[in-house]
Amino acid sequence: MYDQAQILRGLMERRSDVPLGPSAPRRSGARTIAVTSGKGGVGKSNIALNLAIALQQMHKSVCLLDANLGLGNIDLLCGLNGYWNLSHVISGARSLAEIMLDGPAGIHVIPGASGLLDLADSSPTDQREILAHLEELEQRHDYLILDTGTGIHQTVRQFVAAAETVLVVTTPEPTAIADAYATLKTLATGQELGQPHILVNQADSPEQAREIIARVQQTARTFLHVTVASAGFIPRDLAVPQAVVDRVPLLVQNVRSPAGRAIEQLARRVINLTPPPADRAPFFARFGLFRL
């Protein structure tokens, strides 16, 4: 019988070199947006998924990376079966092209970003190979959307620190607002942070959302010396939980719903953000797990 090391060597020997698709022109790399929150249950994954679809529907090429540290549910939200993930790419069992899923409205979905943690224990040769594939992934998309876990986890902080734009999602609940501020405080401590934006989900009115955003902005400016931009709000909408039950994204099932229109507006705001510097290193090279 083969021992575990022999099996692993066999998998490495059979590593597929299947390309991601037809060659595409080189570009400066995908713009990266990390969607995070201070607590679960605020609708972060729904926003990441539907933002990706909205950008794709605006003729942008989008890849959605499920970075929810083993608790990812993007595949469930859009009716996909994401058994293979990045950990299988790291082990050599699958290529990046083989784990990438064709998602709704033409987006691409990469399950299991927690597999990136295994790169820290990989050899420099393996790291270079994986990094080359990941950077090719960036070159083939306009936007890379990262659905992270809560912002206080160390690895989540690495994802967020490497992104150009950070969306911190909260709801009107006092505990969610407090956790969103705690997330901003954690992210702003001891590291370079991309432009943070606060987004209020499930808002009961525009006035309520504006008051919450202003409060977070003032507190962050006073105590953290951080400027937090407004990403607007998503209204409370019964079409959202129905889309979750049906496993059909909101922007596919009910694009003209109030929440759907608000997410489209968020996508337009994202497109209009100032582009990142052209000379900035690719996202995965900034991630900090590569010792090349």
Residues 178-192 pLDDT 10s: 999 999 998 887 666
d(CA 206, CA 202): 11
Rounded percentage of the chain residues whose pLDDT exceeds 70: 79
- How high is the pLDDT of residue 218? 97
- How high is the pLDDT of residue 206? 98
The token pair that represents 245 in the structure block: 């039950």
Q: Is the pLDDT of residue 273 over 80?
A: no
Asked if the structure places residue 277 within a domain, the reply is: no
pLDDT band at 115 (very low <50, low <70, confident <90, very high): low
Asked if the structure places residue 47 within a domain, the reply is: yes
- How high is the pLDDT of residue 18? 41
Taking the CB of residue 137, how many other CB atoms lie within 10 A of it? 23
Asked if the structure places residue 288 within a domain, the reply is: no
Range of the domain at 156: 28-272
Distances (CA, A) of 239 to 75, 95, 147, 232: 19, 37, 21, 19
Asked if the structure places residue 56 within a domain, the reply is: yes
Asked if the structure places residue 134 within a domain, the reply is: yes
Asked if the structure places residue 199 within a domain, the reply is: yes
* pTM of the full structure: 0.85
CATH classification of the domain holding 198: 3.40.50.300
**218-223 long-range contacts, Cβ below 8 Å, gap at least 24?**
219/181, 220/181, 220/184, 220/188, 223/185
Residue for token pair 């994202």: 270
Tell me how many domains the chain contains: 1
Residues 6+ apart with CB under 8 A from 194: 32, 34, 160, 161, 163, 164, 165, 166
Asked if the structure places residue 284 within a domain, the reply is: no
Q: Is the pLDDT of residue 289 over 80?
A: no
For residue range 34-73, list pLDDT tens digits in order.
999 998 899 999 999 999 999 999 999 999 988 876 566 7
Asked if the structure places residue 112 within a domain, the reply is: yes
The token pair that represents 123 in the structure block: 């050899």
